[in-house]
Structure 1
Amino acid sequence: MKTLQRHLGARHIRFLALGSAIGTGLFYGSASAIQLAGPAVILAYIIGGAAVYMVMRALGEMAVRQPVSGSFGRYASDNLGPLAGFLTGWTYILEMVIVCLADVTAFGIYMGFWFPDVPQWIWVLGIVLMICGLNLCHVKVFGEMEFWLALVKILAIAAMIVGGTVVLFLGVSMNGEHAAGFSNLWAHGGFLPNGIGGLIASLAVVMFAYGGIEIIGITGGEAKNPETVIPKAINAVPMRILLFYVLTMCVLMAIFPWTGIGSKGSPFVQIFSGLGISSAAAILNVIVISAAISAINSNIFGAGRMMYGMAEHGQAPRIFSATSRHGVPWVTVLVMAGALLGGVVLNYLIPQEVFLIIASIATFATVWVWLMILLSQVAMRRRLSAEEIRALKFKVPLWPVAPALAIAFMLFVIGVLGYFEDTRIALYVGTGWIVLMSIAYYAGVKPNLGGRLAQETNPS
């Protein structure tokens, strides 16, 4: 049985993270965040982006020191205990499944724009089979495809920012309505129209939008020269995502009053339509289809590699560690495809109004994983000797203040989910998930894990 192969370069890893993090949360979810916070959503993206960057640096410190399959699930096991690793790994898988379900169904809806008479389930089945096949290919083929898919999204966002900036400097009105200008950021109820409460409430959607960036850590087992590649990817990607989101929000709300954003579909449709492009909806459809495929692609990759790493250490069925002749964990890819097919009917019945609920549940899973990454890094630092700490090649900055602030922020976001009625279900579902998986660990995993560890310690 082959092991994972190191064929992913810095370019692949950087765009893999961008592909996972830039998707539905930006193209459609941004409208929900804007309605909650108004122009102050810019602050929410900045604060959230800073916290996520600290998570990435914590993950990078561990990944460079120990580049392994399973990544942060393995680090949680090593530094916080097997239960923490088990919960972290399976919660990340839950996050990926939820996001993929939303994106797969969204793909079916997008294709209905051009082919309204074709049943939606056909498109859903087609995309699941296509991406499943792609993930079964050599990892380098997968990396190249993800690079080009993510590039389409990035170029679309860049075009929107450039086009919007031109409109701002020319001072023209969009569709004969309100004149574009930076004054729109404070002229309609102020910069903070819904108060601090609105800003805080938007964090659920904002953090959902950043979810997926942690996939960089999972690529450690398949990265060329991880000591060089991972730091470069981590230092480049978070800042780029922060710029994409912050600049996009600034341009968007300077062109249109925030009160009207999202009332006519996606904010991106409004931008392209306002620029006088008659085929704006068709252009957006191409972009969001690429975005959906890219996000599903990278999320299946991430969840599959997590299951592979957990199987290697007795925290998932042993068969999940089976690999093809190309070193691809094919069983985990099929499991993810099955999960998506099994959830198609349920996801098809969910109306668009529950996007906030889906986003909030995914946010709980995402923030839980980020919290475990931060706690794992802190625990690792405490058990290392002074000499080992000096030998670290990619240290967390501003230690220990920055990690402590990031941990406090993650706990605050979880509290926010429970405080607001619209997102409270996420706390209920998340708590139930943690309890259920803890029971599963003690009932089915821990007894076998003890015997496995003893066998590894005394192979004779």
Structure 2
Amino acid sequence: MHHPTPAAGVLSRGLNVRHIRFMALGSAIGTGLFYGSASAIQAAGPAVLIAYMVAGAAVFMVMRSLGEMAVRHPVSGSFGQYAGRYLGPFAGFATGWTYVFEMAIVALADVTAFGIYMGFWFPEVDRWIWIAAVILLLTAVNLLSVRVFGELEFWFTLVKVVAIIAMIVGGAALIGFGFTSSGGQAGAHQLVEHGGLFPNGFGGLLAAFSVVVFAFGGVETIGVTAGEANDPKKAIPGAVNTVPVRILLFYVLTLGVLMSLFPWNEVGAQGSPFVQIFDGLGVPGAAHVLNAIVITAALSAINSDIFGAGRVLFGLAQQGHAPQSFGRVSRRGVPWMTVVAMTGVLVVGVVLNAVIPKDVFLVIASIATFATVFVWSMILASHVAMKREIRRLALAPSEFPSPLWPAASVAAMAFLALVLVLLGWFESTRVALAVGGAWIGLLAAAYALWVRGDGRRRPALRDETAPLAVVGVEEPARV
């Protein structure tokens, strides 16, 4: 078995249940809800609520599959290592690098949105200046101990969650008091009065799926935290079970209230739909408060993007799938090289924002959707392979088994296949498949050229549920 060099170090375990729950919420309730939801509403109209529910069910299955594996093998690098262990080394290589790619792309979308939000207060300042400042700040935070990172992420996310609850309660009160807008009196009837529940037909609902999946991208960061959780067997199941339900409630309730207050076709013409709506309501200072909240949301999402990508890169380095320097850990137990590398990617975002026009968001979102779907599919496939192996070798059953096995896993895989087909079907998102296909081709070439020796072996993962004698049987790849 390949042992990492002493320089590879060990990550410090400094994340508790509270940190992990809020981190996953932080990465999923970000730009996708506060900014991206506008394009989903424009595509599907009120039927977007159905899109969020269907995608939410698929996300839950992905999370339960990942949770079962993370409790069984709590390792840094998470699903990249599981894919390598159960589907073969190239699958692990492709999954890990595609997740890093996804986090990089999502972080680019988030820094772009951050620049747009700051423009609300400082229209005369160039967008790229804000983006450069935020990158320097969050790089510094990520180089401190993981506990500092977890604590900051907790407070960032708490601000978002409190704000969303306040919006839901405030919006419901306005509906109760019979508030009137340009579309008439507020109420649930607004959902069907402007062209019905499916104003753009069934095709509109399908078109919304790519933005909706983009919005949920990042929840898989829960699996990445297993290597730094104080007590993975307690923290991971707790986070997996509560987070998808909360995300679904926040998205569906928030957008339901939003479209009951204003006609769906007036949402999100400029900037964040939330700022626009509370501005339109004439609540004094509300737009400024909300702008501060969406800025916090973007900061929190970028923060967890840097964390997630860094930890998976660390896992890749341990397997021989990334340069050894990515496996180096600072005195505080932080893989510092990976943080620096992510900063480099975000600097590219500064350049893109300086030269590319504003429609960069949809392109970035569609490419991120491809990466998200790929990673989720690999999580589901690794889980299926693990379940088969448990049955074949009569291993100890999992402590946190995925429900409705195998029907729900098959349904989730079918849904992800549909999303990929839809990316190619609609002209505006077709670029994602082209970039995605080129990316997988690039990975295959990189693997063939640079990965040698131990990197071409299945990683040997410690099975938390099995006695050592069984581990030897279960993992013939060990040498």
Distance apart, 1:177 and its partner CA = 4.7
Amino acid in structure 2 at the alignment position of 1:178: G
Distance apart, 1:264 and its partner CA = 4.6
Contact 1:91 1:369 in 2 (8 A): yes
3-state SS of the aligned residue for 2:269? coil
Q: Does 1:316 align with 2:322?
A: yes
Contact 2:310 2:335 in 1 (8 A): yes
3-state SS of the aligned residue for 1:397? coil
Percent identical pairs in the alignment equals 59
d(CA) in 2 for partners of 1:85, 1:255? 47
Contact 2:188 2:260 in 1 (8 A): yes
Amino acid in structure 1 at the alignment position of 2:196: G
Paired residues in the alignment total 456
d(CA) in 1 for partners of 2:44, 2:396? 43
Cα deviation digits, residues 230-278 of structure 1 (max 9, x gap): 0000001110000000001111111111111123542202331244312
Alignment match, 1:325: 331
TM-score, with length taken from structure 1: 0.95
Amino acid in structure 1 at the alignment position of 2:155: W
Alignment match, 2:194: 188
Distance apart, 1:451 and its partner CA = 8.7
Structure 2 counterparts to residues 394-409 of structure 1, below 5 A: 394-409=400-415
Alignment match, 2:258: 252
Amino acid in structure 1 at the alignment position of 2:263: P
- Cα separation, partners in 2 of 1:239 and 1:457, compared to 1, 3 Å: closer
Distance apart, 1:117 and its partner CA = 4.2
3-state SS of the aligned residue for 2:120? coil
State which of 17, 20, 36 in structure 2 corresponds to 1:10. 17
Contact 1:381 1:389 in 2 (8 A): no
- Cα separation, partners in 2 of 1:453 and 1:427, compared to 1, 3 Å: closer
Contact 1:105 1:348 in 2 (8 A): no
Alignment match, 2:108: 101
- Cα separation, partners in 2 of 1:226 and 1:378, compared to 1, 3 Å: same
Distance apart, 1:6 and its partner CA = 1.3
Amino acid in structure 1 at the alignment position of 2:307: F
Gapped regions of structure 2 (runs ≥ 5): 1-6, 461-476
State which of 41, 51, 61 in structure 2 corresponds to 1:54. 61
Q: Does 1:133 align with 2:140?
A: yes
Contact 1:65 1:393 in 2 (8 A): yes
Alignment match, 1:203: 209
- Cα separation, partners in 2 of 1:25 and 1:348, compared to 1, 3 Å: farther
d(CA) in 1 for partners of 2:114, 2:269? 21
d(CA) in 1 for partners of 2:261, 2:120? 27
Amino acid in structure 2 at the alignment position of 1:25: G
Structure 2 counterparts to residues 225-264 of structure 1, below 5 A: 225-264=231-270
Q: Does 1:78 align with 2:85?
A: yes
Q: Does 1:267 align with 2:266?
A: no
Amino acid in structure 2 at the alignment position of 1:286: A
Contact 1:160 1:271 in 2 (8 A): no
- Cα separation, partners in 2 of 1:365 and 1:275, compared to 1, 3 Å: same
Amino acid in structure 1 at the alignment position of 2:144: C
d(CA) in 2 for partners of 1:453, 1:171? 61
Between stretches 62-71 and 383-392, larger displacement belongs to: 383-392
d(CA) in 2 for partners of 1:194, 1:75? 41
Contact 2:43 2:207 in 1 (8 A): yes
Gapped regions of structure 1 (runs ≥ 5): none
Alignment match, 1:41: 48
d(CA) in 2 for partners of 1:6, 1:343? 31
Alignment match, 1:294: 300
Q: Does 1:364 align with 2:370?
A: yes
Distance apart, 1:343 and its partner CA = 3.2
Cα deviation digits, residues 122-156 of structure 1 (max 9, x gap): 32222111111100111111100000001111111
State which of 348, 372, 378 in structure 2 corresponds to 1:342. 348
Contact 1:164 1:271 in 2 (8 A): no
- Cα separation, partners in 2 of 1:261 and 1:105, compared to 1, 3 Å: closer
State which of 429, 446, 455 in structure 1 corresponds to 2:435. 429
Amino acid in structure 1 at the alignment position of 2:71: V
- Cα separation, partners in 2 of 1:354 and 1:330, compared to 1, 3 Å: closer
d(CA) in 2 for partners of 1:32, 1:450? 42
Distance apart, 1:208 and its partner CA = 0.4
Between stretches 403-412 and 388-397, larger displacement belongs to: 388-397
Contact 2:90 2:456 in 1 (8 A): no
d(CA) in 1 for partners of 2:119, 2:269? 21
